[in-house]
Structure 1
Amino acid sequence: MEIRVLRYFLEVAREGSITHAAQRLHISQPTLSKQLKDLEAELGKKLFVRSSFSVKLTDEGMLLRRRAEDILDMVDKTEEEFKALGEVTGGDIHIGAAESDNIKYLARHIKNLKVRYPRIRTHLYSGDTDDLSERLDRGLLDFAVIAEAVDLSKYNFVELPESDIWGVVMRKDDPLAQKEAVAIDDLLDLPLIVSRQGLREDIPKLFGEKMDKLNVTATLNLAYNGSVLAREGLGYVLTFDKLVDTSEQSELCFRPLTPSLETKLFVVWKKYQVFTPAAEALLKEMKQYPAVL
């Protein structure tokens, strides 16, 4: 498979039309159709279901789309790295980050770096630890900010100075909002909205043997979406503080858990990683000026 043909394939998949994709790619429709047929012949699978005015991906086409996106991400990142070799005046840094207010410390380092190298660009990818670790291991990220203990056999790390505080986001007019802190027993019969990672890693530490009594009504990986559910009265969100709007203007409030539950965050990178000059500059910034952290 040629990289060029994979780009053609993805453009058709995104547009849902060979005609529109050909226009965007600035090639003729017959040329594009032939490239797609040649790709199907090479793979021995039908990738599209064609109709008069559109095309839709088959199951095999969906698989190739996922793989092609990963391949082209890696190709583009590799090209960026080679373009940046030997110079730190610019370049791209790819960072995966869990949801946390403590990303502010990483942001301060990036801000300091851009004072010296204004042409450096930062690309942020949000996800949970499993997703970020996978992308880091595949070379799609330079760094990842994760919310759990570091696998020291795979990664080096810098620890962020503050911990994230777990608590409950709920409507301000909820009776439970009258409490200054929420105890475990307060939550046992309530519909809970919990992050998938928290349900796997952190929440069991707090609830222990009472885990099987929790009424988990929904799981998520973005706290903002959970806040919408809570605002609409669908449940109580177990999450970190400062991830959603709980200001005076908001209908929601945050109450910490008691006993308290805190989670540390770490900036990690692969051991023996070969960095681009831009990523290397960020690493030096984090190590040289720990006071910023």
Structure 2
Amino acid sequence: METRILEYFLKVAQLGNVSKAARELHVTQPNLSRQIQKLEEELKVQLFDRQNRMMILTSAGIIFQERAKQIVDLTKKAAHDVLPEDDLRGEIAIGCVESKIDSFLSKAMMSFRDKAPHVQFALYDADCDDIREKIDRGILDLGFLLAPVEVAKYEFINLEIEDYWGIVVPSSNPLTQKKEINLTELSYLPLIVPRRTIVKDEIMSWLQEPERELNIVGSQNLVSNSLPLVKLGWGFVMCSAGSYLARPVDGLTFIPITPRKEIEHLLAWRKNFVMTPIVRAFVDFIKQNYKSLKQD
């Protein structure tokens, strides 16, 4: 099965119309229709429901779309990865959590481009679990993660950039009169906590409260997605300061938790993995410059 055919399939799936897809792919409509039909025959499954002129993905088509995209993305990445050792060009795929690391990463990228002007960065925002899963599958080269995180199967750098926990509440809430909120008070508040089990376990250990005794009304993997719920008064988001303060929202206030619980930032990549020249150069650049980058 050629990747070209997968690209044809993905374009039809994206546009839902063979004629539109053919124009964008610069192929004839009959040829594109034949290629899609051959693909379905090869797979022995129907990928599209034909409804008038629309092409609607079947349940099998939806699954195949995800797999096809992974194959095409990895094929393109492989082409970038085999550039000569002294050719500092290509793409670096980076996963990054929501935190104060945003500023550090932006400075690192801009400074590194002075050294390697042909580099391209592909950024992916997610929580640590999603980023680690994509590193494991080779979709991401590097991940900027928040501790605690299981790093036994990764190489990593402790960036010595610390963050701390707090809660986000409506600015009209009386709690905003406090500069900090103590652990005991958290037991009485409706909390939206991080979804990651390892983080929830550390929070419970830190709070010295079993999960069932906290008023947990929900969980989130990206803080920004849960902030509308805070505005509606459904609950208070428990998160790192950097994940909120990097993108503050009008009408909401971040209150630190006392005593403060520091959170470390790590840059991680797969163990025993042969880096491309451009990725290795970027990692070496951060190793050599991370102290000055975080102070700028």
TM-score where L is the length of structure 2: 0.91
- 1:214 Cα deviation (Å)? 2.1
- 1:250 Cα deviation (Å)? 2.8
5+ residue gaps, structure 1, are none
- 1:179 Cα deviation (Å)? 1.7
Are residues 1:39 and 2:39 paired? yes
RMSD: 2.2
Separation of aligned partners in 2, 1:247 and 1:146: 18
Separation of aligned partners in 1, 2:284 and 2:242: 29
Are residues 1:102 and 2:108 paired? no
1:190 alignment counterpart = 189
Q: Give the aligned residue type for 1:133.
A: R
Separation of aligned partners in 2, 1:64 and 1:101: 37
Deviation string, structure 1 residues 178-237 (Cα, Å, up to 9, x no partner): 222112332333322222127535422323333212222232222122222212322211
Paired residue secondary structure (1:242):
helix
Contact 1:245 1:252 in 2 (8 A): no
Are residues 1:276 and 2:276 paired? yes
When residues 149 and 174 of structure 1 are mapped into structure 2, their CA distance, relative to the original with a 3 A threshold, is: closer
Separation of aligned partners in 2, 1:283 and 1:12: 38
Paired residue secondary structure (1:74):
helix
Written as runs of structure 1 = structure 2, the 5 A alignment for 1:1-293 is: 1-82=1-82, 84-149=83-148, 151-197=150-196, 200-244=200-244, 250-292=250-292, 293=294
- 1:266 Cα deviation (Å)? 0.5
Separation of aligned partners in 1, 2:182 and 2:169: 14
Paired residue secondary structure (2:112):
helix
- 1:96 Cα deviation (Å)? 0.8
- Worse-matched range after superposition: 218-227 or 190-199: 190-199
Alignment size in residue pairs: 292
Contact 2:100 2:246 in 1 (8 A): no
Paired residue secondary structure (2:66):
helix
Separation of aligned partners in 2, 1:233 and 1:281: 47
- Worse-matched range after superposition: 280-289 or 92-101: 280-289
- 1:265 Cα deviation (Å)? 1.4
Q: Give the aligned residue type for 1:215.
A: N
- Identity value in percent: 34
TM-score where L is the length of structure 1: 0.91
- Worse-matched range after superposition: 273-282 or 9-18: 273-282
5+ residue gaps, structure 2, are none
